[in-house]
Amino acid sequence: MSQLLLNLDELHQRSDTTEVNRHKIFEEILKSCHTKIKKYNSEFKKQECLFEPPAFILGKPPYNYLSLVNYLLTSLRQNGLRAEWVRDRKAIYISWMKKDINMEQYRAQKTQVDPLDVGNLSQSFAILSVQPKSSDPVSNQKKTKKKKTAQPISHVAMLEYHPGVKDYVPINTHGL
């Protein structure tokens, strides 16, 4: 049996790095598409435009053109815009006219919060009460002669960043 082994971790790491780089390139192109949309809206007072995805970018690794087009169409549609591939022109027709936009899709995307974007959270909290168990050492302690105020019930708030991504955060009820 041969002592030479193929390093599978190295192969997977290379594949993962390639995928991350590809996604970064696609995001850069999507940002340039957003810039064009904003320019047409503000400078030209238009509510539609054509965006021609670049077949390649100098200095960047090559990517699959059809994957890029699919990514752009999906991203724009998820944003509520009308996005159609115009094969003859190798361009994406984008419209944000009131009759063309999908407000339900736009609102659904807008309500989703990036978990890393905690500074802009405007989520409501659901306050949950947590009763101490009778087997808890704190609840079984004998009362001392000093008159203490009753221990408040512990409270936590449930914060939902994305559908299915929840976090429980303790809150201070003394100041309320």
Structure confidence by residue, pLDDT tens digits, 62-104: 999 999 999 999 999 999 999 999 999 999 999 999 999 999 8
Q: How high is the pLDDT of residue 144?
A: 53
SS3 state of residue 24 = helix
Structure confidence by residue, pLDDT tens digits, 105-152: 888 887 764 554 544 444 444 444 445 455 545 445 555 555 555 555
Write down the pTM of the prediction: 0.60
Burial 84-94 (b: 16+ CB within 10 A, else e): eeeeeeebbeb
